[in-house]
């Protein structure tokens, strides 16, 4: 239980940031226009990710999956930002 809880808190935090970042930066218009909506959405997404992390069979899987997904989402966000395809 605790391992899955912390998976939701730590890599879950990074994954939520990545998802919110991808969505708000991919919207048309400058990213500055979605600051408030992004911060509010972040809390919703993080709560959902924390709850969902308890659906993994055990803590090890939760950490592995959430870390991998966090790395993919943040990696994709940073790559797209660096390529200036979104922004």
> Is 32 or 83 the residue whose CB approaches other proteins more closely?
32
From the list 12, 8, 34, 36, the residue with the least C-alpha distance to 23 is 34
Q: Is 11 in the site for other proteins (CB under 8 A)?
A: no
From the list 45, 52, 16, the residue with the least C-alpha distance to 61 is 52
Q: Is 20 in the site for other proteins (CB under 8 A)?
A: yes
For the CB of residue 43, give the shortest distance to other proteins in the complex, in Å.
5
Q: Would you tell me how many other CB atoms lie within 10 Å of the CB of residue 60?
A: 12
CB contact at 8 A, 30 and 87: yes
Chain positions contacting other proteins, by CB under 8 A: 1, 13-14, 17-18, 20-21, 24-25, 31-40, 42-44, 46-48, 50-51, 54-55, 74, 77, 81
């Amino acid at each position: 239980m605790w391992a899955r809880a912390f998976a939701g808190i730590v890599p879950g935090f990074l994954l939520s940031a990545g998802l919110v970042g991808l969505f708000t930066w991919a919207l048309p218009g400058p990213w500055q226009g979605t600051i408030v909506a992004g911060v509010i959405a972040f809390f919703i997404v993080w709560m959902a990710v924390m709850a969902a992390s308890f659906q993994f069979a055990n803590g090890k899987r939760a950490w592995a999956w959430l870390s991998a997904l966090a790395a993919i989402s943040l990696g994709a966000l940073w790559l797209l930002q660096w390529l200036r395809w979104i922004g």
